[in-house]
Structure 1
Amino acid sequence: MASTDVETVSSGADKAKLAAAALCVVLGFVGFYWLAAQGAWAQWAVLLVAVALALGIGATATPGQRLIGFGRDSVKEVKKVVWPTRKEATQMTAYVFAFVVVMALFLWLTDKLLEWVLYGLILGWR
């Protein structure tokens, strides 16, 4: 049997931080709807402050720190990518379109051939 490594939140402090972050988001949504009479600015301000607070609390927990590290590593990897030039991208796009047209014609011809064989020759429906 293959073992799968599943990382979970293990410390009580991390669980409490993530619970507090989730509570902030929930309270932000409650405040958003509760302040409907105050206007859109108040609603969105409460919601954005609550989400920012939740992100700040979540970033201090171990899973949040790992997520931030993953994001930094991802940005480093994307910077290593060698992107094609405009000419290369245009050529590859043209190749794909040409291949799609050729495949469409091939499938259409195959369909018409099978239709002619089955309905015209074997069944005699035409």
Structure 2
Amino acid sequence: MADKIKFALALLLLAAGLAGFYMLGEQAMIVRVLSVLAGVGAGAAVAWYTEPGQRFFGFSKEATAEAKKVAWPTRKETMQTTGIVFGFVVVMALFLWLTDKSLEWVLYDLVLGWKKS
């Protein structure tokens, strides 16, 4: 039950930060943005002490560690793959254009007997 209360308090702090942005409409933009950041920070601090918050932050840490393990392609590999994709697009465009013109010729000229002007 305590976790639910803490989580509700975190949401209220976040909402208060957002409400502060609109309530401080006459103030400088930096003050308004700081109110939002303060609400987000305070809400995150309170959420940190809940069990779901601890699971979320643990998941975030694991996700960051996994993202660091990703083997990114080199520039050469990226350029080669991009070239292959562009080449395939050109070949498919030509194939579809030829297919369209062939069907047009078959249907209009041979089947229907229409001549395009």
TM-score of the pair, normalised by structure 2: 0.87
Report the count of equivalent residues: 115
Deviation at 1:50, TM superposition (A): 0.8
SS at match of 2:113: coil
Give the whole-Å Cα distance in 2 for the aligned partners of 1:78 and 1:38: 40
Q: 1:75 to 1:29 in 2, by over 3 A?
A: closer
Aligned to 1:43: 32
1:105 — aligned with what?
94
After superposing on structure 2, the runs of 4+ consecutive aligned residues of structure 1 that deviate more than 6 Å are none
Q: Matched residues, percent identical?
A: 51
The CA distance in 2 between the partners of 1:116 and 1:60, in whole Å, is 72
Q: Aligned runs of 1:1-126 on 2, under 5 Å?
A: 12-126=1-115
Q: Please state how far the C-alpha of 1:103 moved relative to its aligned partner.
A: 0.9
- Return 5+ residue gaps in structure 1 as ranges: 1-11
Q: CA deviation at 1:105?
A: 0.8
Following the alignment from structure 1 to structure 2, what is the Cα–Cα distance between the partners of residues 41 and 78?
A: 33
Question: Could you say which residue in structure 2 is the equivalent of 1:9?
Answer: none
Instruction: Evaluate the alpha carbon distance shift between residue 124 and residue 46 of structure 1 in structure 2; reply closer, same or farther with a 3 A threshold.
Output: same
User: What is the RMSD computed on CA atoms of the aligned residues?
Assistant: 1.5
One-letter amino acid of the structure 1 residue matched with residue 43 of structure 2: A
Q: 1:77 to 1:41 in 2, by over 3 A?
A: closer
| 1:14 CA displacement | 2.0
* Aligned mates of 2:43, 2:50 — CA distance in 1: 11
Q: 1:84 to 1:39 in 2, by over 3 A?
A: closer
1: distance between equivalents of 2:114 and 2:2?
77
Structure 2: gaps (5+ residues): none
Structure 1 residue 117 displacement after superposition: 1.4
